[in-house]
Amino acid sequence: MTTERLLRLRADARIERDTMMEHRVRDGEDPAIAYAEVPEVDDLVVLALRDEMLEDRGQLAEFGLARLAARSGGPDAQEHRRNADRVEFELLREIAASAPMLTAAVWRASGDLDVA
């Protein structure tokens, strides 16, 4: 990944984060709580790159459906979650390899994934 592209992605993510913050604060949320809970700029960049990779591979809809099925509470929900987690973990590894400066954000994104 080029430095120029990363700068552009971070600029877009900064706008998105600022918008989230403004929305939450205007809705009456304590700014300190909103600041702590809104994802960091690099976290948003990692999610955007993940979604871009899924779309490029023609897997975005399938991944979204797997995530939805994982939340359904149905008999195969856990299997859908594990499958989606494995796919996401591999994508995150690729992101970290191609953009080492995003490694900390990749680790935060992979923290809730069940890949054991």
Structure tokens at 108: 């935060």
pLDDT band at 116 (very low <50, low <70, confident <90, very high): confident
Q: Exposed/middle/buried for 81, CB within 10 Å: 0-12, 13-18, 19+? A: middle
Q: Buried (b) or exposed (e) across 16-27, using 16+ Cβ within 10 A?
A: bbeeebeebeee
Structure tokens at 59: 């897997």
Using the predicted structure, report yes or no on whether residue 80 has a pLDDT greater than 80. yes
Please check whether residue 116 lies inside any domain of the structure.
no
Domain range holding 35? 3-110
Residues near 98 by beta carbon (within 8 Å), at least 6 away in sequence: 1
Please check whether residue 48 lies inside any domain of the structure.
yes
pLDDT (tens digit per residue) in 2-58: 899 999 999 999 999 999 999 999 999 999 999 999 999 999 999 999 999 999 999
Structure tokens at 99: 């953009």
Give the total number of structural domains in the chain.
Answer: 1
